[in-house]
Amino acid sequence: MRKVEESVCVEAFGELLLREMSVSSLKIGLAGFGNVGAGVYKNIEKNQHLLRERTGKELVVSRIAVRDLTKARTVEMPADLVTTDLDELVQDPEIDLIVELIGGIDSAFDLVKASVENGKAVVTGNKALLAERGQELFAIAEEHGQPIFYEAAVAGGIPIIKTVQESLIGNHIQTMAGIINGTCNYILTRMTEAGLDYETALGEAQQLGYAEADPTLDVNGWDAAHKAIILASLSYGCWVPCDKIHVEGIENVHREDIAFAEKLGYTIKLLAIIQLHEETGAIEVRVQPSLIANNHILASVKGVFNAILVKGDVVGETLFYGSGAGQDPTSSSVIADIADATARLGSSQGSGFVTHGLYGSPAPIEDSVSKYYLRVEVEDRPGVLAQIAAVLGKLDVGILSLIQPEDHDEETAPIVLMLHYAAFGVVQEALECISKLDCVCESPVLLRVEDLG
């Protein structure tokens, strides 16, 4: 009996040894050891064994490039792996894959370009880089037969890129509606739930580390816009230029608009809308603070969470929800890309972006149609409402409903109008005329009302 046990033991050990010997490694050059870079290193170490079982490869971070060697780190870096020279990663013949997490556009572009030219696959989480220069980069990657993976570039830990590339490959994507900036969603949630003003909510988001020290790209809508460009380009097989989309941030969302929206049964969210105009093939891409019905599922996405509603012609509606930022969620997506790269190494299967001409060009924003919320602060005297209604009537914009609260200042009063479906260009024209009326005291506030079905 003992002999049998011993022989089973020896056999099992032999099998293990054989497996260990057959496991080859994937050598990674990690460029950037900030919040996400450190998370990638930490979590590869943490789940090394699981990753080896699942990919059949040992994932080895063999070089780390940082800008500043003296910077205090929350995750310890092995000193012998660290360099300040990005070129050392690119030129190292042992390195199979570069993970670009340095941020910015120009130096990141140079790094990714040099990497694919040197026969290395790339993983990046850089949304600005892809939105601004993705077309150039993927053409270079295609030419060199190297893939670029970018799951972490959109919505942090939510696997939306692979979903569109793989799971929804058999669909025409009809619509995407996304809450894809956690900082803005946090600010709007606090303004809604705690009645905070914009500045106070932003300060809170900064203190909690959600917003960057310079939160400009978050609050002006461009962080979400870069992500929307990537999603639209991926969905429609052509790069949507940054200057062909409409972007508004949340800086001008006021507490009173949130309160009025609530009275009317709506919640204000910063929404990225990507829509295919089926009759023309045109693609609409825009980012705007918008009213959505309180009972719509996206209205319940609160705090720093992200969610993306995707409607395909075959699948129907699908919804993806999760953490859109942060060290661990974002590094989860980077690691998924690294794991994908293990399967692709040595085989030339394209760049990771498929260009085709099945759809049209970006739709002009002026033609995009929705309902609207309009708040106009006016002098409190007879005839004022008639003047506003006359402007709207002349441009054939219908009024759906109207509120004017009794409890307002002595001199001025807000008029809140819900407008019927109309083209954005026409409503902009109306807004311009209304702003010029003598009775109007402040710039009017115009917000989209999204009918998400």
Residues that bind ligand HSE in the complex, under the rule CB under 6 A: 181-183, 218, 223, 324-325
Phi, psi of 318 (to 5 degrees): -135, 155
Quote the CA–CA distance of 269 and 222 in Å, as a whole number: 15
Residue 184 contacts residue 219 (beta carbons within 8 Å): yes
Q: How far is the CB of 212 from ligand HSE (least distance, A)?
A: 6
Quote the CA–CA distance of 372 and 369 in Å, as a whole number: 9
Quote the CA–CA distance of 339 and 176 in Å, as a whole number: 27
DSSP β-ladder status, 57-65 and 173-179? unpaired
Q: How far is the CB of 224 from ligand HSE (least distance, A)?
A: 8
Quote the CA–CA distance of 294 and 300 in Å, as a whole number: 8
Q: How far is the CB of 333 from ligand HSE (least distance, A)?
A: 11
Judged by CB, which is closer to ligand HSE: 219, or 365? 219
Distance of CA 425 to the CA centre of its chain: 26
Q: How far is the CB of 325 from ligand HSE (least distance, A)?
A: 4
Residue 126 contacts residue 151 (beta carbons within 8 Å): no
Please name the residue that has the structure tokens 């060697």: 69
Q: Which residues contact 400 (CB under 8 A, 6 or more apart)?
A: 371, 417, 418, 419, 420
Tell me which of 127, 227, 269, 311 is the catalytic residue. Answer: 227
Judged by CB, which is closer to ligand HSE: 182, or 312? 182
Q: How far is the CB of 59 from ligand HSE (least distance, A)?
A: 24
Q: How far is the CB of 223 from ligand HSE (least distance, A)?
A: 5
Judged by CB, which is closer to ligand HSE: 251, or 262? 251
Residue 227 designated active-site: yes
Q: How far is the CB of 330 from ligand HSE (least distance, A)?
A: 8
For the record, the structure tokens of 203 come out as 């300060």
DSSP β-ladder status, 445-449 and 283-293? parallel
Judged by CB, which is closer to ligand HSE: 218, or 337? 218
Judged by CB, which is closer to ligand HSE: 127, or 286? 127
Judged by CB, which is closer to ligand HSE: 35, or 361? 35
Phi, psi of 132 (to 5 degrees): -85, -40
Quote the CA–CA distance of 296 and 284 in Å, as a whole number: 22
Phi, psi of 378 (to 5 degrees): -125, 165
**CA–CA distances in Å: residue 336 to residues 23, 55, 343:** 19, 10, 11
Judged by CB, which is closer to ligand HSE: 115, or 181? 181
For residue 74, give the 3-state DSSP assignment. coil
Please identify every residue annotated as catalytic. Answer: 227
